[in-house]
Amino acid sequence: MRHRDPAWNPATGAAGAGLPRVAWGKGAFVYDSAGRRYLDGSGGPAVFCLGHGHEEVNAAITRQLERIAHGYRYSFTSDPLEELEALITAAAGPAYGAMVMVSGGSEAVESALKIALQYHSARGEPSRRRFIARRRSWHGNTLGALAVSDFLARRAPFEGALVEASFVPSVNAYRPPAGVAPAALAAHAAAELEAEILALGPARVAAFIFEPVVGAAGGAVPAPPGYAAAVRAVCDRHGVLLIADEVMCGSGRCGSWRALAHDGVEPDLFAIAKGLAGGYLPLGAAVYHRRVAEVIDRVHGGPLTGHTFTGHTAACAAGVAVQTIVRRERLVERVAADGPRLLAALAAELGGIEAVGDIRGRGFFAGIEFVADRATRRPFAPELGLAGRVGRAALAAGLICYPLSGNVDGVQGDAVLIAPPFNATAAELEELVALLGGAVRTALAGLAR
């Protein structure tokens, strides 16, 4: 695929030349080495839930570093590790006391996949090796996570070396399959999953993995109401584990700490990362249900996965500080309350633009999808590179957003993600919406030239 954008290619994720040089950040703002200010409207890739330069978080990390950076997991446990585990269980629910700490989203997904395999082996069903995922989803860049991802441009150079996975269609209320009414979409999609499980043979299927709200590959696409419960039931019928990839949409981003709590569904495993330590240090976790823990603990003594930096002490201290603030300041509740206002403000600013086809999302996780034709929902020609243009125009205007492309069929489609800090002020959110409106208009005007 041709590298269309010198600064940032939303299709491949390849960064190019010409990026500004980051200098420092405070709250919702980032400053580059030339002194230019940027409003961080997407928290990078939905990471910086407390914004930048939070003194309490920095102080907690510094305090930990002054004592010791890391107590290696085979030699020690630590207060930050155990406090973070307790905070995660308190936020996720009492069923989720077991987890493997890692250093990011891909490792969290990779660990969840491995724990699912381990569970089936421990139960005496080692034939359950196959993962089922969805089209238009992204789970990470390590080989296992990439194997279950359907982000064409990011997969293509590695095809042939990826573990075989099965894919069911994406589930997007804005782009339903022909002849499926919106109210029937959840049941339709769950039936597709069940058909795939039956076609493979349930005894071969380890787990179904999906993003409760699709991020980088879709543009904040929430599953339709009833979908999560329906796939939960399908998985239960066939002994298939349900893995929620909440790396982007979880940790409070969508207005409930676990994204799937919104649907009243408990997955067997879920992956978290980005917002867990808010980008202050690399941190993620694969969290699993007590019914999974009971089996693998009994047979193997614990999860057979982990890394040198699993439970990294300073990273856990960052996670404790971030999650303590999120909890104390009731920021998830705030995201839940203010999310609809953010979507309404985006709709007021952008809804009148003919090329804006859909404005969607949940909490502080919003997606704007662009279409060349509103009536048919036809996307723009990929050669136009509209998402990249929006991203560049935004950056030039002092706004960081997250442009993405290929969301319609892997090649076509342009969208932009918005994911502000949970503690952004009303004025900052207003500025974000206005700057985005300007960037979208500039980018569209650029198409005409």
Which CB, 213 or 345, lies closer to ligand PMP? 213
Interacting stretch for ligand PMP, rule CB under 6 A, among 99-107, 150-158, 233-241, 310-318?
Answer: 99-107
Please report, as residue ranges, which positions from 364 to 423 form the binding site for ligand PMP (by CB under 6 A): none
Which CB, 194 or 245, lies closer to ligand PMP? 245
Is residue 361 at the binding interface for ligand PMP, with CB under 6 A as the rule? no
Decide if 100 contacts 84 (C-beta within 8 A). no
Which CB, 156 or 348, lies closer to ligand PMP? 156
Decide if 244 contacts 289 (C-beta within 8 A). no
Which CB, 45 or 388, lies closer to ligand PMP? 45
Decide if 379 contacts 371 (C-beta within 8 A). yes
Can you tell me which of 28, 190, 273, 320 binds ligand PMP, judged by CB under 6 A? 273
Which CB, 148 or 345, lies closer to ligand PMP? 148
* C-alpha to C-alpha distance for 29 and 50, rounded to whole angstroms: 11
Decide if 242 contacts 186 (C-beta within 8 A). no
Which CB, 335 or 355, lies closer to ligand PMP? 335
Which CB, 141 or 324, lies closer to ligand PMP? 141
* C-alpha to C-alpha distance for 284 and 246, rounded to whole angstroms: 10
Closest CA to 412 of 379, 368, 443, 444: 379
Is residue 10 at the binding interface for ligand PMP, with CB under 6 A as the rule? no
Q: Is the torsion defined by CA of 144, 110, 52, 418 positive or negative?
A: positive
According to DSSP, the β-strands at 166-168 and 130-134 are parallel
CB of 104 to ligand PMP, least distance (A): 3
Can you tell me which of 5, 196, 211, 414 binds ligand PMP, judged by CB under 6 A? 211
Can you tell me which of 245, 266, 358, 428 binds ligand PMP, judged by CB under 6 A? 245
Q: Is the torsion defined by CA of 111, 102, 416, 321 positive or negative?
A: positive
Is residue 150 at the binding interface for ligand PMP, with CB under 6 A as the rule? no
SS3 45: helix
66 phi and psi angles, rounded to 5 deg: -70, -25
* C-alpha to C-alpha distance for 76 and 70, rounded to whole angstroms: 9
Is residue 248 at the binding interface for ligand PMP, with CB under 6 A as the rule? yes
State the first-to-last Cα distance of the chain, in angstroms, to the nearest integer.
24
Is residue 105 at the binding interface for ligand PMP, with CB under 6 A as the rule? yes
Is residue 139 at the binding interface for ligand PMP, with CB under 6 A as the rule? yes
Write the interaction track for ligand PMP spanning residues 31-50; mark x where CB under 6 A is met and - where it is not: --------------x-----
Beta bridge partners of 366: 361, 418
Is residue 247 at the binding interface for ligand PMP, with CB under 6 A as the rule? yes
Contacts with ligand PMP by CB under 6 A lie at: 45, 104-106, 109, 138-141, 211, 215-216, 245, 247-248, 273
